[in-house]
Chain A
């Protein structure tokens, strides 16, 4: 079993839809949870960052962490074609410890 599991998709939705992305993990020592967006041939760009459990909202994006279930989610409201990218979840045990990534989910938002 991999430390972080993420469905690679691809996921295709119409413009304006609510998108739900998620990851599960096995290492209970993870404390920091991140979502990165990666456009083709580019490096990952940090979208959301959460410490421990709870919810965090930033504009159209909401990140949720449920440590009891070892499950994290990213919701994108009113999705736009510009949201089309690969979304990577990442986790770490402490500050500046290595990030452990999921495989990434490829999302296409169709106009």
Chain B
């Protein structure tokens, strides 16, 4: 049974560019949350998607946007990249009716 799958594993982008990260949730899960983990810090909540809608959002600017598809997979988009956006981006899936998150291994984004 596959857990949470994220792609790509690593990528390097230039300041000002746009990036799309992808997440496939654990089988049976219907909710996807995204977190940003800067080096040496704990993960910070970006937003959560359920039923293809953004349900909750953390303290991140509008440059961060997302989408959830009918098969529950999700994308995180970041526009106008800044050097400070360099981080590990984690996707976590869950079932709305039960407590418990499963995290993927993350996408490491480097902005140069």
- Residues in chain A within 8 A of chain B (CB atoms): 4, 6, 8, 32, 36, 41-46, 49, 88, 90, 95-104
Min C-beta distance of A6 to chain B, whole Å: 7
Complex contacts, B103 vs chain A, CB 8 Å: 36, 43-45
Interface-lining segment among B12-20, B36-44, B68-76, B77-85: B36-44
Closest B residue by C-beta to A92: B99
Complex contacts, A96 vs chain B, CB 8 Å: 31, 48, 94, 96, 99
Min C-beta distance of A45 to chain B, whole Å: 7
B66 at the interface (CB under 8 A from A): no
Instruction: Choose one: A41, A43, A46, A97; the contact of B56 (CB below 8 Å).
Output: A97
Are A99 and B101 in contact, with the CB atoms below 8 A? yes
CA A36 to CA B35, docked complex, whole Å: 14
B24 at the interface (CB under 8 A from A): no
Instruction: With A99-B92, A99-B101 given, name 16 new contacts (CB 8 A).
Output: A4-B42, A8-B40, A43-B4, A43-B90, A44-B43, A44-B90, A45-B103, A88-B42, A95-B99, A97-B56, A98-B33, A98-B56, A99-B43, A103-B40, A103-B42, A104-B40
Complex contacts, A104 vs chain B, CB 8 Å: 40-42
Complex contacts, A4 vs chain B, CB 8 Å: 42
In order of increasing CB-CB distance, the 3 nearest A-B pairs are A101-B42, A43-B103, A98-B45
Main secondary structure of the interface of A (DSSP, over half): loop
Are A43 and B45 in contact, with the CB atoms below 8 A? no
Instruction: Choose one: B40, B45, B96, B98; the contact of A99 (CB below 8 Å).
Output: B45
B106 at the interface (CB under 8 A from A): yes
Instruction: Choose one: B4, B33, B43, B101; the contact of A46 (CB below 8 Å).
Output: B101
Q: Which has the most chain B C-beta neighbours within 10 Å: A32, A44, A97?
A: A44
Min C-beta distance of B65 to chain A, whole Å: 17
Closest A residue by C-beta to B41: A103
B58 at the interface (CB under 8 A from A): yes
Q: Which of B87-105 contact A (CB under 8 A)?
A: 90, 92, 94, 96, 98-105
B108 at the interface (CB under 8 A from A): yes
Are A43 and B99 in contact, with the CB atoms below 8 A? no
